[in-house]
Amino acid sequence: MNDDWQPPAPENNYDVRAEQAPILRWLIGAVFLGAIVLGALWLFSKVILPSDLPVNEKLKVDNKTEAPAEPVVKKSSDDEAWVRALEKDTLEGYREYLAAFPDGKHKDDAQAEIDAYDNKAWATAEQRNTIAGYEDYLEAWPEGLHASKAKERIAQMKAAAEARRKDAAERAAAEAADWDRAARENTVESYQTYLTKHPSGPNAAEAQTRMDRLRASAADTAAWNAARGADTAASYQQYLTSYPQGAYVPQAMAAIEKLKPAAGRTFKDCDTCPVMVSLPAGTATLGASATDSDARPAEKPARPVTFSNMFAIGVTEVTFNEWSACVAGGGCTNRPSDNGWGGGNRPVINVSWSDAQGYASWLSSKTGQSYSLPSEAQWEYAARAGETRDLQGGTPAALCAFANGAGSESGLKWGNSACNDPAADRTLPAGMLGANKFGVKDMIGNVAEWTLDCNTLNLRDAPVNGEADSRGSCAQRAVRGGSWFSGPKDLRFAARLMQRRGDSNDFTGFRVVRKIGG
């Protein structure tokens, strides 16, 4: 028989091994399932029933395989108070805890928190570094960690303040003594000594002012002595130019008058020329005074003006007769109306600023002298003639002797009730009223007079050498003196009005000035 022979397989290919039980797979599954159960029990013991829960000791003895839970221990009142303090987290909260439990379990922690507040308050006090700061700390922490140091700082600061006070008092006393000494001696050297010791002392500015005054006075005296040594008009004039406010101005002016033609001399440069009068050089305060209640802003401030050279001015305003000479001589083309009042010796009216300038140019050409309209400063200097009050004569009543203005007869509400003029509504012949101390007439009233100056809002920074002010609006020019139509307010020396240079009217005329000696 062939050893390789195998019985034929059944037709459905049935495997006998398939009939055997799967014991191995069962064992593997059982092991795997057991592992899952053991893991679940371990996890249950760790999570659901942790070993650190309280254990019932009786059950533990009776049943070694089960650990029953211990009962929860209730918190003490100490702990509860500490928890409340922590929840408040304030200085008061921690102090309340210590007050209730001075020997509590958490007393050290509470004290540490309180000390932190103490340290913070001390840091603030040190940052302020003032007596008040340290006193505030002590008020809040009288027994604080830094109380002794705060008291020490306060004592040190008060001692230092007292020392400074005493030092300041001593220095003030020394400064006062040095100033008294310097003022008694009243020399440049004494004030210099004071300033060296007390450069920022309370009298330092005054010391410097007095030094400057003494030096200026010394220079003034030296210049005056030099002028006297030369004893010439030029030397005295040089002194006046250098020291217009000098101590020897009156003496210098007097010396010049002795050496030059005397002030008050009258003259005419031609038969038909206006009569002129020489005015002295000098210094005068011009513009509205601080006490002038009628002053306008344009008339302020008053300021000293120095006239270094003599000049001459017309004794009266230019008349119709004098104007007619200019027309006849070909120097003037305008033939102004006399308003039916009569020409002749009345002041010329209805002439513009340009007309007046043309007349002055004609006079200069005819005579070979230097004529012009006056500057405002020249006009006011001549009008005042040394008068420092607001009105010529000082009062409205006294003014009547010098000025043809609107009087009581005019019926004008602004008229001067103290006057009763012979002409209520027109000019008077030139020179009918009184002359001032310079011998000049009709400076106030009759007709307002054109000047060279341009329209300015005020006299601040106006020239102080007598020259005309060319600033401002030169399309308008200043007229001075008021007219037959004016009341006392516009008849003041300082009164200024403005008119367009091309305008002409029946209350405006002019007079001329001339240089002396050329």
Rounded to 5 degrees, φ, ψ at 205 are: -65, -40
261-515 sits in which CATH class?
alpha beta
Pairwise CA distance, residues 489 & 467, whole Å: 26
**Residue 234: which pLDDT band, with cuts at 50, 70 and 90?**
confident
3-class state of residue 498 by DSSP = strand
Over residues 241-279, the pLDDT tens digits come to 999 989 999 998 887 766 555 678 898 989 999 999 999
- Cβ neighbours of 8 (radius 10 Å): 6
pLDDT (mean) for 426-453: 97
Eight-state DSSP code of residue 45: I
d(CA 90, CA 398): 91
pLDDT at position 86 is 92
pLDDT at residue 55 above 90? Answer: no
Q: Tell which wins on pLDDT, 254 or 51.
A: 254
DSSP class of residue 70 equals P
**How many angstroms separate the CA atoms of 330 and 434, rounded?**
34
CA dihedral sign, ordered 30, 32, 35, 37: negative
In tens, the pLDDT along 77-100 reads 999 999 999 999 999 999 999 999
- Dihedral angle sign, alpha carbons of residues 11, 13, 17, 21: negative
Q: Per-residue pLDDT tens for 15-49?
A: 444 445 556 676 777 777 877 867 666 565 554 44
Q: Give residue-wise pLDDT tens across range 453-509.
A: 999 999 999 999 999 999 999 999 999 999 999 999 999 999 999 999 999 999 999
Give yes or no for a contact between 442 and 431, defined as CB atoms under 8 angstroms apart: yes
Instruction: Of 192-201, 234-243, 344-353, 376-385, give the lowest mean pLDDT range.
Output: 234-243
Mean pLDDT, range 424-452, rounded to an integer: 96
384-424 tens-digit pLDDT: 999 999 999 999 999 999 999 999 888 899 989 998 877 77
The confidence score (pLDDT) of residue 142 equals 93
pLDDT of 4 > 70? The answer is no
Give the pLDDT band of residue 12 (cuts 50, 70, 90): very low
Q: What residues does each domain of the chain span?
A: 37-72, 77-145, 261-515
Q: In whole angstroms, what is the distance from residue 242 CA to residue 237 CA?
A: 9
